[in-house]
Amino acid sequence: MTTADAGRTDDHFDYSPSEFVGVTTPTLIYVGVKDRADFDKIALPLHDNGPNERGHVLVKTLGNFDGVKTTVIFQHWTKSLTTEGYTALAATKGAGQ
């Protein structure tokens, strides 16, 4: 268990990646790629964000976040919080921990 996972049990995490598209703003788009082989086919540099309190995500980014050009962030979550995990995280944050 990492420090980021402290206070949460393994059942708070899902190890099955999901597919999703999230349009945060008209110029910022998140794409979840379920299949790691498909994710690896994307011809962009890989950045491993490492484990954190919300799980573990691999990222490939197209664009530059400058507010003018569209940025697309491809993600492959090897581990992500379940609904119960988010509830536990919120309770920990609310308790000032």
Residue with tokens 């995990």: 85
Res 4: pLDDT:
46
The pLDDT of 71-91, averaged and rounded, is: 78
What three-state secondary structure class fits 78? strand
Q: Where are the domains of the chain?
A: 3-92
Write a three-state SS string for 13-52: EECCCCCEEEEEECCEEEEECCCHHHHHHCCCCCEEEEEE
**What pLDDT, on a 0 to 100 scale, did the predictor assign at position 23?**
93
User: pTM for this structure?
Assistant: 0.65
Mean local confidence (pLDDT), 55-77: 82
**So what's the pLDDT on residue 2?**
43
Cα end-to-end distance, the chain, whole Å: 17
